[in-house]
Amino acid sequence: MKRLFLLVATCVLGAAHAELTVDPIFQSHMVLQQGKPVPVHGSCTSSAPIVVKFGDTEVKASVKGKKWEAVLPPMNVDAEGKTLTITQGDDEVQLDDVLVGEVWIASGQSNMLFRLDKTDDNSVLQQPAIPGFRFYHAAPQLHTEGGAYNDELLARARENRIYEGAWHTGGEGDCPSMSAVGWYFGRKLHELLGVPVGVVHVSLGGSGMIAWMPTAVVKRKYRESLGSRWLNCKYMTAWVRERAKENLAHDLTAPHPYKPTCLFENGIRPWTHFPVAGVIWYQGESDAELQDQKQNEGLLKDLITGWRTEFKQPDMPFVMVQLPRIKDDKNGLRAYWPEFREVQDRVCKLLPRVYEIITVDLGSTSIDVHPRRKLEVGERLAATAAACVYDKKDVPYSGPVAKQASLLSEGSVVVEFDHAKGLKSADGKPVAHFELSSDGKKFYPANAEIRDEKLVLTADGLRQTPKVVRYAWSTFLTPNLVNEDGLPTAPFTMQLEDKKTK
């Protein structure tokens, strides 16, 4: 019997005469989603019966033309690596060390792509593998850095060969280019759940939401962005447009990763029949360049619902990173980050099972859009997933969230919060970055006094009755209002209640 061993996605399965293959996302060391039917599929040149065996389960595949598919029944968590075998006549593909647990997709732009070996805490590269944690890293083969593509890269663009990926165990420095946020998220989620966790990472620097949109959604709602004039559509920010033109300088007719639908169809589409538990998403730096909250809100909602439709999971959890801070006082490119944070927050409130983590206390203290502190980002994502998706009620995951603001007296306002136990100033200094307004246009800095789990605000310069309160409405800030778990208060803008609070 001929036996083929699949090691990485870039390997050719056996010799040229091999008749049976499995699609590249299926490899040794992978994790399969527990509790859901798992389709396994590939190609063949014969119509002979195909049998898929995993542990004690054996199923027959359906063969249509040169494609085959078998569906494994829902499985319980299994932390013991088992062999998945696909057999057709004398041909066999064997995938070793396959686990069953929770699978999450990690996607977005450059801060999701940011490498593990570039973070402040990369000592993990010297640590042994975590037996129950695996990850798939889709390595971009088309950069979006400055400079024109050469002939080889242009050929890749025309052939849509954007990614090459492999499953990893993460031991002894395996795959240092893996997403740091994805890696820290997976490690922490595995620790919190106590089950195998697999993270599938597919992202690309500088990418806008329209590039991650499924084709069906774009055809239905953003048709004007399709065709040869895509670079001039209104969903392309100036930076994205110019970078794509720079890359395609030698052939502006070639596709580019930033082209609408390109990254979804090439990076995410192969996974849409691979059951997953949810998505973590770190993106927005590019789209926030435009101060068009209505457009950005529509794009973000359509992206989430579009992914859910393509994965056939209408309630698929989606946990995103609210944009952090950045000290951009030179070119103003990040000026609209407060507005984009508000868009992200609003979408979380509008769509079910969409969550966000607050990172306004993290991010850059310079103009660098790629902060190195990714450990806290990944672990906050994991805590939110554990608490909100897996109902781990003992996992602290949220800082204070404003729920009501009302007049306390003629010039003072009281703000009440959820998740406010132990409300305090993290650095012992006065609580900062609150503002009051009488018309929602001109805001005045507010003095803040903590009273139990509430905050009392007064603004010296405000002569009229306050009607609006907001917090952390700035591109760069050093917030210090936290709860007993040290988690930061979420930025917000809120109308005051009509009633006066005693």
In order of 55, 222, 270, 377, the CA distances from 93 in angstroms are: 15, 42, 19, 38
pLDDT given at position 3:
44
Q: What is the pLDDT of residue 120?
A: 81
Instruction: At 321, give phi and psi (nearest 5°).
Output: -95, 115
Q: Show the tokens assigned to 211.
A: 């590039």
Residue 424 lies in a domain: yes
Picking from 64, 81, 99, the residue at the C-terminal end of a domain is 99
Q: Are 42 and 68 in contact (CB under 8 A)?
A: yes
- Given 330, 356, 389, the domain boundary residue is 389
Q: Is 183 domain-assigned?
A: yes
User: DSSP label at 363?
Assistant: B
State the Cα–Cα distance between residues 324 and 139, nearest whole angstrom.
25
Distance CA(367)–CA(462), nearest Å, equals 33
The long-range contacts involving 308-312, CB below 8 angstroms and separated by at least 24 positions, are 309/214, 309/216, 309/217, 310/214, 310/216, 310/264, 310/268, 310/269, 310/272, 311/272, 311/276, 312/272
User: What is the pLDDT at residue 13?
Assistant: 37
Which sign, positive or negative, has the C-alpha torsion 424, 318, 379, 181?
A: negative
Residue 331's pLDDT is 67
Q: Which two tokens stand for residue 314?
A: 């209408």
In this structure, are 43 and 172 located in the same domain? no
Beta strands in 291-439 (DSSP E): 318-321, 354-357, 401-407, 412-418, 424-425, 434-437
How far is residue 71's CA from residue 61's CA, in Å, rounded to a whole number?
Answer: 7
Please check whether residues 207 and 282 belong to one and the same domain.
Answer: yes
Predicted pLDDT of residue 65:
92
**DSSP reduced 3-state for 271:** helix
Beta strand pairing call for 497-500 and 401-407: parallel
Q: What's the first-to-final CA gap in the chain, in angstroms?
A: 82
In a domain, 226, yes or no: no
DSSP one-letter code for 419 = S
Q: Which domain range does residue 163 map to? A: 100-219+259-389
60: domain CATH number? 2.60.40.10
Low-confidence ranges of the chain (pLDDT < 50): 1-17
Note whether 67 and 89 are same-domain residues. yes
Quote the strand ranges of 423-473, DSSP E. Answer: 424-425, 434-437, 444-445, 447-451, 454-458, 468-471
- Residue pair 182/112 in contact by the 8 Å Cβ criterion: yes
Q: Could you tell me the CATH number of the domain that includes residue 453?
A: 2.60.40
Q: Which of 359, 293, 295, 348 is nearest to 319 (CA)?
A: 348
Q: Please state whether 469 falls in left (phi above 0), alpha (psi between -120 and 50) or beta.
A: beta
| Shared domain check, 112 and 93 | no
By DSSP bridging, strand 78-88 and strand 51-54 are antiparallel
In a domain, 280, yes or no: yes
Residue 116 sits in a domain of what CATH number? 3.40.50.1110
Among residues 57, 72, 99, the one where a domain terminates is 99
Q: Are residues 361 and 382 in the same domain?
A: yes
Task: Identify whether 95 is part of a domain.
Answer: yes
Q: Which of 93, 64, 82, 80 is nearest to 3 (CA)?
A: 93
**Which residues lie across from 69 on neighbouring strands?**
41, 62
CA distances from residue 11 to 8, 45, 192 in whole angstroms, order as listed: 6, 19, 34
Is residue 283 located within the same domain as residue 346?
yes
Q: Would you say residue 242 lies in a domain?
A: no
Same domain, 22 and 150: no
**Structural domain includes residue 474:** yes
Q: Are both 62 and 19 inside the same structural domain?
A: yes
What pLDDT, on the 0 to 100 scale, is given for residue 500? 62
pLDDT of residue 14: 37
Residue 247 belongs to a domain? no
Is 276 found in the same domain as 172?
Answer: yes
Q: Mind giving me the DSSP string for 188-231?
A: HHHHHH-S-EEEEEEE-TT--GGGGS-HHHHHHH-GGG-STTGG
| Same domain for 313 and 408 | no
> Are residues 126 and 31 part of one domain?
no
CA atoms within 13 A on the CB side of 151: 0
Same domain, 89 and 112: no
Q: How many domains is the chain built from?
A: 3
Asked if 383 contacts 396 with a C-beta cutoff of 8 angstroms, the reply is yes
Q: What is the mean pLDDT of the chain?
A: 93
